[in-house]
Structure 1
């Protein structure tokens, strides 16, 4: 007899068992009832234990939300403040991932162009991979090198700002906050490291580097950079972009003149495709790369229209793919850098559920990093015992985690655990998240 059936018999009272043991259909029905009862009891016990944990004083002075849902049965394992709004921080990137997967093709749209008899008009799609320090993509540049036509650059299709709404102004000098644009080059950052001498990329900025012991990395209004006298690691500093600088970089890399036009040739536009889109999604999630997240939504907008606009992408995705959200988000950027963003745990779980149902499972779990009790993002190996896969989001007094939880019994759960306004360290909050998810992993 099946081990599960044998285990289940102990939940059936002996008098009833004696009456039904010779009746196979009745016996199976009794087992099903027993299993359901056992599962419900286990669910209630797990829920009660976690709810009691939330009564600990460490939760008294913070705002906490949690929603855990069984992927197969759709049962709610636990819900606490799941319909209330929280600042999501980088958990916002789950929405960006969903938007990009729903709209963009397998390879990233890298360039739009129209050819005439003697000219080729080009405009960017927002593709962030051109000469990026990690991707080092040259597909579009190689395409433009081959043409013998005059290259005419159009940059006025960018209908947005260089920074997202609500971003902290003092972050202008830090690697995680580069300017945004239609044709970003080099990731819009200067990359510096020590070889025998100081290596600078792009080399254009070599003469703009000064050695100084200071907390400042760049001047506020100009491309003057300050680097420690002893540079132990590679550092990246955002540079101030401009149409003139974009033109200059392109001319240097193409070794030919590039003209700039205010208007684009109005003929039907061709699209040049670049690197695999998944390679950008994966780095965005593993590195929590704000720049890639923001630029991806511009590529979405470019795919939908002739302009690059976050609002165009957001509106389309909310109206066409997320109109069933019970609590529509206040969604103001792609990265989560802004404190203006507001999402509920329930909305997060809906997006996680849609990703799970609409994306190949193998592909999805390759894109998402695993998460351990230290909040460490790791690349799982086939035999690894990681059971949490998802995206964290942190900023001052905020730490969130949303994703997929694999239980010992083989179930997959969707979860969103959000913590705002805490005065504890991020490490303490991570430990609380981990212990709660571990309890569910072990018992459900």
Structure 2
């Protein structure tokens, strides 16, 4: 009887590959079982969560494998948990501080380039380095970047008057909200150059629902129904129409000086004349991301991207 043949070099390599494949397979099975066990103990047995619609899909691009799936084939509407990915992207690409403004001093004046920073004149951010800088300047020229559309995909058009549906813009101002302050005997509106119309009759929206404050889809003319106002002092808010060609007017009124509008398409203002553009940092990035997550702020999330 012939004895066992010794392993050749190629046989050893093949045997090693088989062992590695077997270990990897067992490891993946073990990890999948571990995830399934955690999902069952943490999510599916929770009396509150278990009554909702739950779908889980964990995919690893590096190995092109799904580690775990639960009802992954069903359709789900992304909710505020998608902001976790927004936070990750913001932390990775925005750095530790937000660039509030890019600018360049020219022979004609100060050319400013918007960055989409949502904290400019936002009441929750008391430190306003961009505003303080612009207030001390003259001959300001606003260079439009034409960043993005006002509304992202998926919003229902009839929500346009609700504060959670604030429009995106290249240079947000006052949180892109129109605020009307009812002081009892007088009304103050911010931005101050917004037309305010008062009427006694209740306002009706497309669904015949009574509203206190209203505006048309494409206009910043605001109408208020005084018959529906609260007797005490109150603040009423509605999203601002933040078209890029209107932003210099808001800035002019806020800075109390003429801001010239330059309708110049900039494909990427971070790269345009990069060597000549200076920056002003406005806020720590985490000071934007914390309220974005705590209050599920749609506006902060969309501007971060």
Partner of 2:100, secondary structure, is strand
Kept in 1, the 8 Å contact 2:196–2:222? The answer is no
Who is 1:134 aligned against? 124
Who is 2:287 aligned against? 279
Who is 1:391 aligned against? none
Partner of 1:173, secondary structure, is coil
Unpaired stretches in structure 2, ≥5 consecutive residues: 1-32, 59-67, 204-209, 267-271
Deviation per residue, 1:127-170 (Å, 9 max, x gap):
0011123325532121122234x211111x22321111121100
Give the whole-Å Cα distance in 2 for the aligned partners of 1:272 and 1:101: 18
Kept in 1, the 8 Å contact 2:146–2:244? The answer is no
Give the whole-Å Cα distance in 2 for the aligned partners of 1:46 and 1:294: 30
Q: Does 1:93 align with 2:90?
A: no
Partner of 2:166, secondary structure, is coil
Who is 1:368 aligned against? none
Q: Does 1:260 align with 2:232?
A: no
Superposed, 1:248-327 pairs within 5 Å as 248-263=249-264, 266=273, 268-297=276-305
Measured after TM superposition, the shift of residue 270 of structure 1 is 1.5
Greater Cα shift, 103-112 or 251-260: 251-260
Deviation per residue, 1:24-83 (Å, 9 max, x gap):
xxxxxxxxxxxxxxxx99x969948976889xxx96xx7532579xxxxxxxxx963357
Measured after TM superposition, the shift of residue 234 of structure 1 is 2.7
Who is 1:224 aligned against? 221
Q: Structure 1 pair 63/153, CA: closer, same or farther in 2 (3 Å)?
A: same
Partner of 1:108, secondary structure, is strand
Give the whole-Å Cα distance in 1 for the aligned partners of 2:173 and 2:37: 54
Give the whole-Å Cα distance in 1 for the aligned partners of 2:193 and 2:158: 25
Who is 1:382 aligned against? none
Give the whole-Å Cα distance in 1 for the aligned partners of 2:197 and 2:120: 23
Superposed, 1:59-98 pairs within 5 Å as 63-66=53-56, 80-81=70-71, 86-98=76-88
Q: Between Structure 1 and Structure 2, whose CA radius of gyration is higher? A: 2
Kept in 1, the 8 Å contact 2:189–2:196? The answer is no
Deviation per residue, 1:286-313 (Å, 9 max, x gap):
221111111111xxxxxxxxxxxxxxxx
Q: Structure 1 pair 212/137, CA: closer, same or farther in 2 (3 Å)?
A: farther
Superposed, 1:23-422 pairs within 5 Å as 47=40, 63-66=53-56, 80-81=70-71, 86-135=76-125, 138-148=128-138, 150-155=139-144, 157-196=145-184, 197-205=186-194, 207-210=196-199, 212-214=201-203, 215-216=210-211, 217-229=214-226, 230-231=229-230, 233-263=234-264, 266=273, 268-297=276-305
CA RMSD of aligned residues (A): 3.5
Kept in 1, the 8 Å contact 2:147–2:170? The answer is no
Deviation per residue, 1:403-434 (Å, 9 max, x gap):
xxxxxxxxxxxxxxxxxxxxxxxxxxxxxxxx
Give the whole-Å Cα distance in 1 for the aligned partners of 2:116 and 2:79: 22
Give the whole-Å Cα distance in 1 for the aligned partners of 2:258 and 2:129: 19
Give the whole-Å Cα distance in 1 for the aligned partners of 2:254 and 2:220: 20
Kept in 2, the 8 Å contact 1:209–1:224? The answer is no
Between the two proteins, the alignment pairs up a number of residues equal to 243
Output the TM-score relative to the length of structure 1. 0.48
Kept in 2, the 8 Å contact 1:212–1:227? The answer is no
Unpaired stretches in structure 1, ≥5 consecutive residues: 1-39, 69-77, 298-444
Deviation per residue, 1:368-398 (Å, 9 max, x gap):
xxxxxxxxxxxxxxxxxxxxxxxxxxxxxxx
Q: Structure 1 pair 146/45, CA: closer, same or farther in 2 (3 Å)?
A: closer
Give the whole-Å Cα distance in 1 for the aligned partners of 2:42 and 2:288: 40
Measured after TM superposition, the shift of residue 273 of structure 1 is 0.5
Kept in 2, the 8 Å contact 1:210–1:225? The answer is no
Kept in 2, the 8 Å contact 1:191–1:235? The answer is yes
Higher helix share: 1
Output the TM-score relative to the length of structure 2. 0.68
